[in-house]
């Protein structure tokens, strides 16, 4: 939700800012802006994609070595040029970019109008920050930022430059991500690692309530009481290429195709005769004390959590609750020291997930997280973290991160089952052996791309699509439906197949497209009956079934086969054909697949 970037150093700032913003555009793309400083403050902002801003700037015209940049996902105020960041004060000497929400901005606005006659030009919450800092400014930018922050409530990663102190950027964070990149004679700031990969691998994570003064030759980290903080630098292992499209037309397609590779990577690193849960940080002995697992996440990560529930209950026989983070926070969940709380998050910065984790911590649960972005807030605040190691995911629609989260749940559940003696070593070993086949299985699915594209080309004009399944197939249907709606903009709905006749079947008419997952043997006959219920009302049914299933051919109009494997493991790959389907429908409709409208990759507001 909004991307921030900053540069100070020996080189020109503008190209670095524009390049950094292009890597952060997945966080928001309603408008973009930059501010540069030397003797004067120069600000340029534009409504629309970063490209619009770039087209309005000739980089050769700008020699400044200090600047900040922002790409916006609008929360307060429409996506207009005036509401775009950076925001500035009435003297045009202080410029501010912000990711987050200032909750008491109306109060501050009223107060500044009264005490200082401040003239506000935008509808945003962020603008008050610039005016507040300006109000307190008395020749010391850092001091003014401290005083301003003291008045602010909410979540923020704020970066400030000042015409009268053009040798520094001052930044501060609370509940919104902020990292500092350390270079040689130059330093950087950003919301996320991909913005910095081209320039440095050395990163400093800024924690909540910390302030940073970033100069050309050094970075000073301070706590809320202005005391210096020492922190070790983190070395990023992702390479620059991993944040490029590498010949694919879209990041989303590249990331779908990366899934065999991410599976191989995870399996090779996490299986060494036994399952190695590096990062778990919870003694296996403690597993026996847990009487409940609580999984909390949002969106696609929530769907991975549902599969997590299925596998933990199936293999380790521990009851599991799964909750949507924005709901969990406002319930009074039964959590205590015998609960294992698992937060699932690709970005590790989703605010609702992070706040849920903090709630669970207060209730004394042990906190484990399944996270992709190394060093992110969710990871840092957990007792243990199982990284998914999927590499940067840039496409807004989550694909490879989802399947890697699901794989981590399998590995965790199997290890938990083995340690608590709920599974025999023989059974455990045979499942591990089969897991090694999954990268190849996924490649087999990806080879059906042409067939799936043809199908997408014949279906992209639909008004609505229904997804259905039973048991763990239902969880796959949920994820397939979310993927489909978010990038196709076609109304889609996922339903437990057995629920159809309790209402939803009223919506089925001639040619309604229904995608049915039918991979679970125990529920197979029931599923075929549900398929017949909709075909007899005219629906066009496409089935996801196991290779070798011939009965399904008799009831469905089309079948997409996934390789024949242990049905308990199939959720690891069942969604992949539907990722491709969603992708090709989105392309056929001319949508911006990587940056679907109204969305942002990292949701750092409530």
Binding site for ligand F6R (CB under 6 A): 298-301, 345-347, 350, 353, 397-398, 482, 486, 602-603
Apex 557 CA angle, 553 and 559, nearest 5: 55
End-to-end CA distance of the chain: 10
Q: Which residue is it, tokens 């555009």?
A: 25
Torsion of the alpha carbons at 471, 475, 477 and 481, rounded to the nearest 10: 160
Surface-to-core class of residue 509, CB atoms within 10 Å of its CB (0-12 exposed, 13-18 middle, 19+ buried): exposed
Residue closer to ligand F6R by CB (options 35, 307) is 307
Copy the structure tokens of residue 253.
């397609």
Q: Smallest distance from the beta carbon of 94 to ligand F6R, in angstroms?
A: 32
Alpha carbons 87 and 237: distance in angstroms, whole number: 35
Residue closer to ligand F6R by CB (options 423, 580) is 580
Copy the structure tokens of residue 319.
């009851």
Q: Which residues contact 48 (CB under 8 A, 6 or more apart)?
A: 30, 31, 32, 79
Q: Which residue is it, tokens 């997930």?
A: 353
User: Catalytic site residue 2?
Assistant: yes
Which one is catalytic: 2, 298, 476, 543?
Answer: 2
User: Catalytic site residue 601?
Assistant: yes
Which one is catalytic: 168, 254, 595, 601?
Answer: 601
Q: Smallest distance from the beta carbon of 129 to ligand F6R, in angstroms?
A: 25
Q: Smallest distance from the beta carbon of 304 to ligand F6R, in angstroms?
A: 8
> 163-196: b or e for each residue (b if 16 or more CB lie within 10 Å)?
bebbebbbbbbbbbbbbbbbbeebbbbbbbbbbb
Pairing of strands 320-324, 31-37: unpaired
Copy the structure tokens of residue 181.
């990149």
Copy the structure tokens of residue 108.
């501050």
Q: Smallest distance from the beta carbon of 376 to ligand F6R, in angstroms?
A: 9
Q: How far is CA 181 from CA 352, 450, 525, in A?
A: 27, 42, 57
Copy the structure tokens of residue 52.
């619009």
Residue closer to ligand F6R by CB (options 187, 345) is 345
Q: Smallest distance from the beta carbon of 576 to ligand F6R, in angstroms?
A: 14
Among 603, 572, 490, 541, residue whose Cα is nearest residue 28: 603
Task: List, by residue number, the catalytic residues.
Answer: 2, 601
């Amino acid at each position: 939700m909004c991307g921030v970037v900053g540069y100070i150093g020996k080189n020109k700032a503008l190209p670095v800012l524009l390049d950094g913003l292009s890597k952060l555009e997945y966080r928001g793309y309603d408008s973009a802006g930059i501010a540069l400083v030397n003797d004067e403050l120069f600000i340029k902002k534009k409504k629309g994609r970063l490209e619009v801003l770039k087209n309005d700037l000739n980089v050769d015209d700008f020699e400044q070595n200090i600047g900040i940049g922002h790409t916006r996902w609008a929360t307060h105020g429409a996506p207009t040029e005036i509401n775009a960041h950076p925001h500035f004060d009435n003297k045009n000497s202080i410029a501010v970019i912000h990711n987050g929400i200032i909750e008491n901005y109306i109060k501050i606005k009223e107060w500044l109008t009264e005490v200082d006659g401040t003239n506000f030009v935008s509808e945003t919450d962020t603008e008050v920050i610039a005016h507040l800092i300006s109000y307190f400014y008395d020749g010391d930018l850092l001091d003014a930022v401290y005083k301003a922050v003291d008045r602010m409530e909410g979540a923020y990663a704020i970066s400030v430059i000042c015409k009268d102190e053009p040798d520094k950027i001052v930044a501060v964070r609370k509940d919104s991500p902020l990292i500092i990149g350390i270079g040689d004679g130059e330093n950087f700031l950003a919301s996320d690692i991909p913005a910095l990969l081209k320039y440095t691998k050395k990163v400093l994570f800024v924690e909540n309530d910390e302030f940073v003064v970033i100069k050309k030759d050094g970075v000073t980290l301070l706590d809320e009481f202005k005391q210096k903080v020492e922190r070790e630098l983190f070395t990023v292992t992702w390479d620059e290429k991993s944040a490029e499209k590498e010949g694919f037309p879209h990041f989303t397609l590249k990331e779908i195709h990366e899934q065999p590779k991410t599976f191989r990577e995870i399996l090779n690193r996490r299986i060494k005769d036994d399952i190695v849960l590096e990062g778990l940080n919870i003694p296996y002995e403690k597993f026996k004390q847990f009487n409940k697992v609580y999984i909390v996440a949002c969106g696609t990560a929530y769907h991975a959590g549902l599969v997590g529930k299925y596998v933990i209950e199936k293999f380790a026989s521990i009851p599991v609750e799964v909750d949507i983070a924005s709901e969990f926070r406002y319930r009074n969940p039964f959590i205590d020291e015998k609960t294992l709380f698992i937060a699932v998050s690709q970005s590790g910065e989703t605010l609702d997930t992070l706040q849920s984790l903090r709630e669970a911590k207060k209730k004394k649960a042990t906190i484990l997280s399944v996270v992709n972005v190394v060093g992110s807030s969710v990871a840092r605040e957990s007792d243990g973290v199982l990284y998914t190691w999927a590499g940067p995911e840039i496409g807004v629609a989550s694909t490879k991160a989802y399947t890697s989260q699901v794989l981590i749940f399998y590995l965790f559940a199997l290890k938990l089952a083995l340690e608590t003696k709920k599974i025999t070593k023989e059974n455990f070993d045979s499942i591990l052996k089969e897991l090694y086949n999954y990268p190849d299985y996924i490649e087999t699915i990806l080879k059906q791309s042409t067939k799936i594209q043809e199908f997408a080309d014949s279906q992209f004009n639909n008004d609505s699509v229904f997804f259905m399944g039973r048991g763990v197939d239902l969880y796959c249907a949920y994820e397939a439906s979310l993927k489909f709606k978010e990038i196709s903009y076609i109304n889609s709905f996922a339903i437990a197949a057995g629920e159809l006749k309790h209402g939803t079947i009223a919506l089925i008419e001639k040619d309604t497209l229904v995608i049915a997952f039918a991979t679970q043997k125990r529920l197979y006959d029931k599923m075929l009956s549900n398929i017949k219920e909709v075909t007899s009302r005219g629906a066009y049914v496409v089935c996801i079934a196991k290779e070798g299933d011939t009965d399904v051919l008799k009831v469905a109009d089309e079948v997409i086969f996934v390789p024949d494997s242990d049905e308990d493991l199939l959720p690891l790959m069942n969604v992949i054909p539907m990722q491709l389907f969603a992708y090709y429908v989105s392309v056929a409709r001319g949508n911006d697949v990587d940056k679907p409208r109204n969305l942002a990759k990292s949701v750092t507001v409530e």
